[in-house]
C-alpha cells in the first residue's frame, strides 16, 4: 500500500463528515480501490453533483469488510445509516435513485446496518 501524501491528507481533512448527518462514504482503502471503489466514488460524486443532491460523497478508510468491497455507507434523513457491499455502477445508480432520492433502502445489497443494543445496568 502506498503512503498517504500531504496533499491527500489535506484533501481528507478538508472534507470531514458533515455535521448535518447526511453523507455517502466510499471505502477507498487498497482493497476497496482494487475492487473498483475509485470508479464507484467518481460515479456517485458525479451523479450527486449533476442532480444537485444535498449529500456529500466522501472517501473513507478500511472498515474491515474486504470480502464485500467496494463498500458504500449511506446516511440520509428519514432512514438508518446502512452499508452496501459489492457496489458497482448499476448498484451505485440504484443507491442514488432509490435510497438518496426516493428514501427506500436497496435491500438486496445491504451488508451492515446499525442495531440498537440494550445497555447493561
Instruction: Judge whether residue 120 has pLDDT over 80.
Output: no
pLDDT tens digits along 58-88: 999 888 888 999 999 999 988 888 999 999 9
pLDDT band at residue 7 using 50, 70 and 90 as cut-offs: confident
Residue 64 confidence (pLDDT)? 84
Instruction: Judge whether residue 24 has pLDDT over 90.
Output: yes
Average pLDDT, the chain: 85
Helix (H, G, I), strand (E, B) or coil at 38: helix
CA distances from 61 to 65, 72, 106 (A): 11, 11, 23
pLDDT tens digits along 84-111: 999 999 999 999 999 999 999 999 999 9
Amino acid at each position: 500500500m502506498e503512503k498517504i501524501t500531504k496533499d491527500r491528507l489535506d484533501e481528507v481533512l478538508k472534507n470531514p463528515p458533515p455535521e448535518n448527518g447526511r453523507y455517502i462514504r466510499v471505502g477507498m482503502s487498497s482493497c476497496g480501490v482494487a475492487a473498483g471503489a475509485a470508479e464507484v466514488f467518481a460515479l456517485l460524486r458525479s451523479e450527486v453533483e449533476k442532480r444537485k443532491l444535498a449529500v456529500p460523497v466522501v472517501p473513507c478508510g478500511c472498515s474491515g469488510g474486504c470480502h464485500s468491497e467496494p463498500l458504500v455507507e449511506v446516511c440520509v434523513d428519514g432512514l438508518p445509516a446502512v452499508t452496501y457491499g459489492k457496489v458497482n455502477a448499476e448498484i451505485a445508480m440504484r443507491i442514488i435513485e432509490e435510497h438518496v432520492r426516493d428514501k427506500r433502502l436497496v435491500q438486496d445489497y445491504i451488508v451492515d446496518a446499525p442495531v440498537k443494543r440494550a445497555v447493561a445496568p
